[in-house]
Amino acid sequence: MTQDFNTARAILEANDRGGYTVPNGRVYPFQWNWDSAFVALGFDTFDRDRAWIEIESLFRAQWPGGFVPHIVFWQEDEGYFPGPGVWDSGRTPPTSGITQPPVAATIVRKLWESALAAGQADAYQARAEALFDGLLAWHRWFADHRDPGGHGVVVAMHPWETGRDNSPEWDAPGESIDVSNVGDYVRRDTGHLDAKMRPTKLEYDRYLALVQFGRAAGWDHPAIARSNPFQVADVGMSMILLRANRDLLALAQALGRDGDEIAAWIARAEAGIHYLWDGERRTWCSRDLRTGRSSGYVTSASFLSFYAGLRDPQSDEAMLAHFDRIAGRVRYMVPSLDPDDPGFQMIRYWRGPVWAVVNWMIGHGLAEAGHRARAERVRSDTLALIRDTGFYEAFSPLDGSGSGGDDFSWTAAIALAWQTPG
């Protein structure tokens, strides 16, 4: 059934909880970090003030030291697991103790430029200044606590931090996680969704063991970074942060703020991010810090190098060759895992399905790098999936069937933001 894009606005309004938006009320009843950033893109197409409020509500939960959590528990929901009592962060409002991909600076820049284009700079100047300060503190937290090797990358301490929860990139690094004391628990996700779409029990055991490790450390992030059993330089977060720092620098310049610190972070990443290039597989991918091994996987995150603003003829040629090969294997781009990989599963979360928000980043990156036809393929495939299937969390790249939750906020937001080229 063809979907009316007016439905996208209705989904955002239905998932609005008065200042923050839930991804999907049945499965994810709280505020998620990078979800809210993308949601703001959608709100900005019809309610500029509400778009700003979405980001501002997230930053009201920022910790001292700059950390921004991946979940904010604004209200009780006893049916969700793991809830605030499991995280035990000691914060008000209650939050999780891990972060998520730092896409917010990129979105705030877009919101600011949208306000400028509408002649409303005066109305949003003070709000942009306040968000800039929060974003700067968060990016400084990444630089200080998540880049021990000085490569300009982001070292994830939990698969949930990457936003790509069960990517096969985390399988080998997760083998050393002790799950013997996890205990019994009841998952909410598999109570609402088909288990074959979701992470396995072993994967979930590992997720909870890492939560227990962080909680036992009192969510002391420097201490966790020194001894956490999972430490992976994530290609997705690293590319997103590099792009976000470029956008934060542009904001600094627009607001008349000092950008030297941000420029130094960008220079460090441009000099060191090749640490994530796998010369044998000829792809950008994550690397396990504890073993030094590259994952070797071609995932949708691998194509974020264009979004990050990296320009290298050899690596670009290799990634475009991967893109074209994969485009010939699937009906809809971009699958979250190479369909030629033996572990590819077309509807299991981050082991195959297409995600609209990742496509939005890939598409914009390809367009900015001058690869317009490939960018348009990504954009048109994404909109076709939404029109023909609905506003699902993710989609099969082979037949377009929906995966995960329906009436999903960030999918609706991308539909609104991406109805026209550019």
Which residues carry out catalysis? 165, 393
What's the 3-state SS for the chain? Answer: CCCCCHHHHHHHHHHECCCCECCECCCECCEEHHHHHHHHHHHCCCCHHHHHHHHHHHHCCCCCCCCCCCEECCCCCCCCCCCHHHHCCCCCCCECCCCCCCCHHHHHHHHHHHHHHCCCHHHHHHHHHHHHHHHHHHHHHHHHHCCCCCCCCCEECCHHHHCCCCCHHHHHHHCCCCCCCCCCCCCCHHHHCCHHHCCCHHHHHHHHHHHHHHHHCCCCHHHHHHHCCCCEECHHHHHHHHHHHHHHHHHHHHHCCCCHHHHHHHHHHHHHHHHHEECCCCEECCEECCCCCECCCCEHHHHHHCCCCCCCHHHHHHHHHHHHHHHCCCCCCCECECCCCCCCCCCCCCCCCECHHHHHHHHHHHHHCCCHHHHHHHHHHHHHHHHHHCCCCEECCCCCCEECCCCCHHHHHHHHHCCCCC
For residues 87-113, b (16+ Cβ closer than 10 Å) or e, as one string? Answer: bbbebebbbbbbbbbbbbbbbbbbbbe
Residue type at 29 in one-letter notation: P
Take residue 130 and report the two structure tokens written for it.
């306040």
Q: Are 176 and 252 contacting, i.e. CB atoms less than 8 angstroms apart?
A: no
Q: How is the beta sheet containing 155-156 ordered, strand by strand?
A: 155-156, 232-233, 287-288
Burial (CB < 10 A; 0-12, 13-18, 19+), residue 186, is exposed
